Amino acid sequence: MRLAELNRADRTDAQAAFSQCCTATRWIRKMTDDRPYATLQALQEHARQVWRSMGREDYLEAFDGHPKIGDPESLREKYRRTLNTASGEQHAVIGAPEAVLDGLARYNRLYETRFGFIFIVHASGKSAQEMLDIMKSRIDNDPDTEIRIAAEEQARITAKRINGLFLPPAAP
């Protein structure tokens, strides 16, 4: 896709494109309504501004659009809309040692019980062990701090996914 195509896309197609980046409904609507964007940099800056204007319910809706770190069933079943991007972002989990996968599953449960939402981390480039270590380091945060950190991580994920909308397709 090219930026010009996104700018002239009908509302439904533009919303579908933005939903590949973030699943918060208000964010998708605002990004769609505020077209056209002059450059990818302008689009990215606007995406950050719109995200900063969102509230807790928007954050939770976006977080719900993610599979749990290290949970292959979650990758396959619950989040079909972002399956390709999410599975690529979490590719380091594939083949991780069983002990690390067990730790991810255990800490995912603890985290969700403590905070009421799934663990969010910009997983690209991180090993399964690194993600587990990050989760462990954040489990004792107070809820206000943790939602703020998770929202920042979501913004990084969204930025990467926006860039991915405009990358040329991979060669066969």
Q: Note if 66 is an active site residue.
A: yes
HSE-CB at 89 with a 13 A cutoff on CA atoms is: 26
- In the chain, the amino acid numbered 6 is L
H-assigned helices in 34-142: 40-52, 56-64, 72-73, 83-89, 98-115, 128-138
Tokens of 152: 């920042």
From 46, 66, 91, 122, active-site residue: 66
Please state, in angstroms and rounded to a whole number, the distance separating the CA atoms of residues 43 and 83: 23
Residues with catalytic roles: 66
